[in-house]
């Protein structure tokens, strides 16, 4: 194992420990702070994403975490389904519900696309090019920008660390046993 891989392994263990200790609070932060005007992520789907992230996408996770540990919940959106995209038909109560954003946008779309820039998590509702349409690429039908709170997760954890529910315990145990 070379020096860089060893550093990444140590960093990965630190991130795993952080996620194990705070999985339920990260889940709640995503729903109550990030997705508050958009919808809700299902707890089982959240656990599935965490498992996939730790199984596959480690370099991006370590790089993002090194820059700012508070960015972790925002990074998770980049790992949804296929490279930060989720089909409209997959957006449902069992995965990620977009009930609020669908009312706000009132547009037809085929998938949603997630990206990050320096300040925002960007959610785009996209329509794919179909058949003989005279367009070169998919069309952005609606965009929602969510300001990244640089200390948001840390503050949320500090404020809510004593709140534990039965569902919180299940989330923590599911994460702890699978990453």
Per cent of the chain over pLDDT 70 is 83
What band does 97 get if pLDDT is binned at 50, 70 and 90?
very high
Q: Where are the domains of the chain?
A: 8-150+166-176
Which tens digits make up the pLDDT trace of 102-147? 999 999 999 999 998 889 999 999 998 776 667 778 889 999 999 9
User: What does the pLDDT read at residue 123?
Assistant: 96
Q: How far apart are CA 164 and CA 5, in angstroms?
A: 36
Count CB-CB contacts under 10 A for residue 64. 19
Per cent of the chain over pLDDT 90 is 40
Q: How far apart are CA 171 and CA 38, in angstroms?
A: 22
Mean pLDDT over all residues of the chain?
Answer: 83
User: What does the pLDDT read at residue 132?
Assistant: 65
What band does 30 get if pLDDT is binned at 50, 70 and 90?
very high
CA distances from 38 to 32, 49, 80, 176 (A): 10, 19, 16, 28
- Pick left, alpha or beta for residue 81 (phi over 0 → left; psi -120 to 50 → alpha; otherwise beta): left
Compute CA 49 distance to the chain's CA centroid, rounded to the nearest angstrom.
8
Q: How far apart are CA 88 and CA 81, in angstroms?
A: 12
Written as six digits, the tokens of 137 are 């690429």
Is the whole model's pTM more than 0.85, yes or no? no
Which tens digits make up the pLDDT trace of 71-84? 889 988 988 886 88
What band does 166 get if pLDDT is binned at 50, 70 and 90?
low
């Amino acid at each position: 194992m070379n020096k860089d891989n060893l550093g990444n392994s140590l960093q990965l263990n630190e991130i795993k420990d952080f996620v194990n200790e705070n999985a339920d609070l990260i889940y709640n932060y995503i729903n109550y702070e990030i997705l508050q005007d958009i919808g809700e992520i299902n707890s089982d789907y959240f656990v599935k994403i965490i498992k996939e992230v730790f199984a596959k996408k480690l370099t991006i996770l370590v790089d993002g975490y090194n820059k700012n540990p508070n960015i972790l919940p925002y990074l998770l959106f980049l790992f949804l389904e296929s490279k930060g995209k989720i089909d409209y038909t997959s957006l449902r109560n069992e995965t990620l519900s977009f009930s609020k954003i669908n009312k706000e946008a009132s547009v037809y779309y085929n998938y949603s696309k997630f990206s990050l820039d320096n300040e925002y998590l960007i959610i785009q509702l996209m329509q794919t090019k179909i058949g003989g349409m005279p367009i070169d690429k998919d069309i952005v039908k609606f965009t929602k920008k969510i300001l990244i709170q640089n200390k948001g997760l840390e503050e949320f954890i500090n404020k809510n660390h004593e709140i534990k529910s039965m569902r919180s315990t299940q989330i923590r145990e599911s994460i702890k046993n699978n990453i």
